[in-house]
Each structure stands twice: as C-alpha cells, then as structure tokens.
Structure 1
Amino acid sequence: MYLHPTYVVTPDREPPGVIDAWMWVRESRDSNGQRRGIKENIRWIEGYEWIPGQAALLPQTHLVYVTDRESDIAALMARANELGQPAD
C-alpha cells in the first residue's frame, strides 16, 4: 500500500500536520508489462483540487501546493487553469 499525504507547514515553520492523504495499492503488471486501474499520477490532481476549497475557507491565508518533479504533468496544469489557479 502507498500513501501520498498533503502536509501543512505554517510560515513560522510550525507543522499542524497531515490534512489529506491519498492511499492506493499498485496493480500487478499484465503479460504486456502494463498496469491496469487508475493512473497513479491522479494523486497530484486530487491533492491540488483540495486547495481552492480550503482557500475559500481561509481567506486571510495564502496556500501554496508544493510538489516534486513527478507532478510535472500537463493534466495537473490544465486542472489548475480550470480552477482559476494557474500553476507556476
């Protein structure tokens, strides 16, 4: 089982903790070496989709979604634009 958490840190470097988690079990490869099921990179998009809703609840707070290079996918950038939050 894999876990992809969304962790919060304040500007003062205080760690309130994990606020979201995406868990999955990787599918076995078939005879062609392909995995069935959902693509694992969806975790980046689902994690990002959570941010605008939280931003609406916290209008005095600036939220930043930090990812690693694995999240550099066109689908995430497109979804950010759809939500009115262009990714930089």
Structure 2
Amino acid sequence: MKVSVDIELLSTLQATLEAARLEIKKAKDREQGNEPLSIEEAAKYLKVSRTTLHTYVKSNQIVPSEFGNRVWITRSELDRFIERHRRKVYA
C-alpha cells in the first residue's frame, strides 16, 4: 500500500503543531510564574515607572534575567519582591 502525502499539507500541519507546542509552553510558564516580562511590562505589573523599576534592579531588590542584549524579569521574581515588601498589619 502506497500513501501519497501532500507536501504543502504536511508543512502546514508541522507549522500548526509547532505553534501549538509554543502556546502550551507559554501557558505553563505563565502558570509557574516563569513568564518573561519586558522592562515595560514589569513596570506596569508593579504599577511603577521604568525609572523606579531600574532603581530596584540597581539596588539588587529585583534580579533580572539577561541573554545577550535582552533583559527581562519573570513574574515570579516580581511576586517575590512584592511579598518581601508587603506591609505587616498589627491588630
């Protein structure tokens, strides 16, 4: 039995599967807090200016990730920062 495969269809299916794999990985990263955020996105997440965020990074209160000339901050790093700076309310 010989099966003929349409090359264009095969290529489309491969591209669709790869896109789905990437979306699943992004969803898992978001779930685990490993989603990389740009400096702008991180500042918005903390509701501070970029200047303030840079101050936190320079004082090692927030540790960014770097690869080449790309810099990002994970959501879990920002959540840890928020938790460390949460005010304690005394009753």
Give the TM-score band, short-chain normalised.
under 0.3
Instruction: Compare the two structures and name the one with the higher strand fraction.
Output: 1
More RCO (CA 8 Å, sep 6+): 2
Task: With the length of structure 2 as denominator, give the TM-score of the two structures.
Answer: 0.25
**Greater share of helix residues, 1 or 2?**
2
TM-score with structure 1 length normalisation? 0.26
